[in-house]
Chains A and B, each alone.
Chain A
Amino acid sequence: MSNISVINNKEHHLIKVIEPKNSSAVICKNNVVVYPVEYQYLAQFQPIFFTKDTSTGQFKSIVIYGFEKDENLYLQHNSFWEPLYLPLELIKQPFSYASINNQTSLCIDLDNPLVSKNEGNRIFDKQGEQTKTLSRAISIVNEHKNQQALLEDFVNVIVSLDLLEPCVITAEYADKTSLKVNGLYIINRERLASLTDQQYAELDAKQYNKLLKTLLDSEQQLSVLVEKKINANDKLAVK
């Protein structure tokens, strides 16, 4: 649940926030939305997929942390984050923008586990001025907002060019039980190769060619993810 409140130095004067990288509580799902600005970096470690938002059916790019519900294969011993990089979607927590009466305001989710009275850094100092923690949060939330718009446009373009295709991840364990993951989509290489010059030029003009290449490169990391799953299951597997 969440309890979103517009930030002000009266009500939230004593609030502290814990840095996301110091907490395992920032994610309770097995995947997280990632944005174009992050693709290049993420692609070195994780495969980037697309999936449909369950409430709108619209595509979003994601990285996967696990295959089962709430599974996170990157959280070792349930304590700290193995990946060096925490996506924007996670590090913006517990802050967000909300539009109230046509006015965009910076908000905080008071029910987020990163919000505390004892641990972490204050967002307002004794004089009620914003701290470095808060100003950093503001720039992250701004970046997040810009990236949301960019992702939406990128998705619209690739969907209109029919560049997404469903992909199913399957692996079989040595004991014959198997892993099957549906609902993921990747870039259709054949379709990409068959675009017209004009379509390429349009992609190029927005520098979306680069993003597509990065997404394709990221697929190489799939084996890393599957291996993690296999190790976690402690069963020998053949892919």
Chain B
Amino acid sequence: MSKLCKDIVIVGGGSAGWITAGVIASKHKKGSSSHVNVTLIESPDIKPIGVGEGTWPTMRNTLRKMGISETEFMRECDVSFKQGAKFAQWVTGKKDDFYYHPLVLPEGFSKSDLSQYWSSNMRSQSFSKSLCFQEDICENNLAPKAITTPEYIAVANYAYHLNSSKFSAFLKKHCIEKLGITFISDNVTGVNSDRKSDDILSVTTESSGNISGDLFVDCTGFSSLIIDKHYKVPFIDKNEILPIDRAIAVQIPYADEDENIASHTISTAQSAGWVWDIGLPNRRGIGHVYSSKYNDEETATKELIDYLKATGTANTDNLTFRHINIRPGHREKFWVNNCVAVGLSAGFLEPLEASALVLIELSAAMISEQMPKNREAMTIIAKRFNNLFAYRWARIIDFLKLHYVLSKRRDTSFWCDVTSADNTPESLKELLALWKFQPPWIYDFDHAEEVFPAASYQYVLYGMGFETAKPEAFSQEEVMFAEQQLNNNKKNITKLIHNLPTNRELINKVKQYGFQKV
């Protein structure tokens, strides 16, 4: 009989460790038919890197399933609402150049594609503004719901901006107090594996002895203690495709406590990279990611300071700038033997579409939902996990690259190189070739659960001015349907702008009153 999989050991805390712990422990509770023990070992000395202040809408479900109250989460992790991203100066580089990738699907998307109708009849108004009410909500700094909307329920689909280190601490408390996770605060000093199979038997800790388990989750961040140091799984470098490899991060207080909080991530393109701007309730988190091949630290810092000055921060003298190295890419495999890597140990890409936390959620969900019953089943599940996540990383890389290849900027050698077909993945080239003749649609992708749905590709493609061949004519029926949807969108805009509170107002009300469960 193959060895049962009963003891899960997560090595490393941070967002990756605690999300994985919470997702597994809430599904495999004590007393349930599929109960497993979850132990998490976190070093008291290593601080989490604290990247990933932006989530996807999936986080709402992830937290709900863990039994977390949205109100508590928002109060304790400096959370604000996020309704997508605004990409500024990515297409022409001019001051008024921007497009949105909102989180609400284009109007009528579940029934029919309207991008062709939009393209033929109303290209003077942006795609997202014509077909999605969320752009107007964001431009007006409005919240995606009201205080009377129950927790986790959206009026307009939303995700979060959050304080990453507070988020880890919050999850840790929940996991220990509510989900019965065994927590060990210690440094891992060694990995012990079976001589024959090379399965991990235990990890050695400084003062808690050997911690044995049946499945080990490597959440040790960039140090990749098991997946790299022990198993030596090769790292596939993606620097050629996505040349960004440096980040400079800074935190900026608001000018006054009534200042608007943007309810979307603002991403502004620079000479060799871009600046993220994330509004939390108490501060903005801003950073410049750039390519060291095209820009030195001094110039990159100056560009960041110029951005801060242009967005209302007069005095930049006493700010602390954190410098982070990024190695874009991922492991060749994520699950080897009885160890699976989740989080930065699995890989990292520039935070252009907030893919870090969502990959953690997706990994944790698959490990938890496909929890192998025994060692024999694990080999099959590991293979499937590796296939699925290799596919997902490839799709994310394609999607990130899409933001670059469609740019019309050629003002620096960075933009000339990054837009060139030479370092564009074949899979993306093929899609772009197809989309010359037909708009992105569900058949373009292999899985039912895609990381980025066809709608996201439409938003970026048409937001950036891509041209798909127009049909010669539309039937009366098609025109009627399209006009009805466009009209719905207009009505929604008027109604929601009138009814929704500002992002700041709602965040303050959540602090004071909280959301109801129903």
Find out whether the CB atom of B518 lies under 8 angstroms from the CB atom of A164: yes
**B509 in the interface, Cβ–Cβ < 8 Å?**
yes
CB distance from B78 to the nearest CB of A (A): 21
**A54 in the interface, Cβ–Cβ < 8 Å?**
yes
Size band of the interface chain A makes with B: 10 to 19
Known: A55-B147, A56-B509, A57-B509. A162 touches B514 (CB 8 A): no
Report, nearest first, the 6 A-B pairs whose CB atoms are least far apart: A57-B147, A52-B148, A56-B513, A57-B148, A57-B513, A166-B518
| A183 to chain B: closest residue by CB | B148
Contacts of B512 in A (CB 8 A): 56
**A185 in the interface, Cβ–Cβ < 8 Å?**
yes
Q: How far is the CA of A59 from the CA of B147 in the complex (A)?
A: 11
Summarize B's interface: helix, strand, loop or mixed: loop
Q: How far is the CA of A56 from the CA of B505 in the complex (A)?
A: 11
Contacts of B100 in A (CB 8 A): none
CB distance from B239 to the nearest CB of A (A): 48
CB distance from B148 to the nearest CB of A (A): 4
Find out whether the CB atom of A162 lies under 8 angstroms from the CB atom of B513: no
Contact flags (1/0) for B505-518 with A, using CB distance below 8 Å?
00001001111111
Find out whether the CB atom of A57 lies under 8 angstroms from the CB atom of B518: no
Contacts of B148 in A (CB 8 A): 52-54, 57, 183
**CB contact list, A18-40 vs B, under 8 A:** none
**A125 in the interface, Cβ–Cβ < 8 Å?**
no
**CB contact list, B481-518 vs A, under 8 A:** 509, 512-518
CB distance from B53 to the nearest CB of A (A): 26
CB distance from B178 to the nearest CB of A (A): 16
Q: How far is the CA of A183 from the CA of B147 in the complex (A)?
A: 13
Q: How far is the CA of A77 from the CA of B327 in the complex (A)?
A: 77
Q: How far is the CA of A159 from the CA of B518 in the complex (A)?
A: 9
Given contacts A57-B146, A57-B147, list 12 more A-B pairs with CB under 8 A. A54-B146, A54-B147, A55-B147, A57-B513, A57-B514, A58-B516, A59-B516, A159-B516, A162-B518, A164-B518, A166-B518, A183-B148
Q: How far is the CA of A53 from the CA of B514 in the complex (A)?
A: 12
| A163 to chain B: closest residue by CB | B518
Size band of the interface chain B makes with A: 10 to 19
Interface contact tally, CB-CB below 8 A = 34
Find out whether the CB atom of B516 lies under 8 angstroms from the CB atom of A52: yes
**A165 in the interface, Cβ–Cβ < 8 Å?**
yes
Contact flags (1/0) for A161-173 with B, using CB distance below 8 Å?
0101110000000
Contacts of A59 in B (CB 8 A): 516
CB distance from A187 to the nearest CB of B (A): 12
Q: How far is the CA of A237 from the CA of B342 in the complex (A)?
A: 59
Find out whether the CB atom of B515 lies under 8 angstroms from the CB atom of A57: yes
| A54 to chain B: closest residue by CB | B148
Q: How far is the CA of A162 from the CA of B146 in the complex (A)?
A: 21
Find out whether the CB atom of A58 lies under 8 angstroms from the CB atom of B517: no
Tell which of A53, A55, A165 touches B518, judged by Cβ atoms closer than 8 Å.
A165
| A53 to chain B: closest residue by CB | B148
Q: How far is the CA of A74 from the CA of B146 in the complex (A)?
A: 31
Contacts of B509 in A (CB 8 A): 55-57
Contacts of B513 in A (CB 8 A): 56-58
CB distance from A156 to the nearest CB of B (A): 11
Q: How far is the CA of A59 from the CA of B516 in the complex (A)?
A: 9
Contacts of B516 in A (CB 8 A): 52, 57-59, 159, 164
| B501 to chain A: closest residue by CB | A55
Contact flags (1/0) for B128-147 with A, using CB distance below 8 Å?
00000000000000000011
CB distance from A14 to the nearest CB of B (A): 41
Find out whether the CB atom of A56 lies under 8 angstroms from the CB atom of B147: yes
CB distance from B154 to the nearest CB of A (A): 15
CB distance from A164 to the nearest CB of B (A): 6
Contacts of A185 in B (CB 8 A): 518
| B506 to chain A: closest residue by CB | A57
Q: What are 5 A-B interface contacts by the 8 Å CB criterion?
A: A52-B516, A56-B512, A56-B513, A58-B513, A159-B517
| A162 to chain B: closest residue by CB | B517
Q: How far is the CA of A51 from the CA of B348 in the complex (A)?
A: 47
Contacts of B518 in A (CB 8 A): 162, 164-166, 185
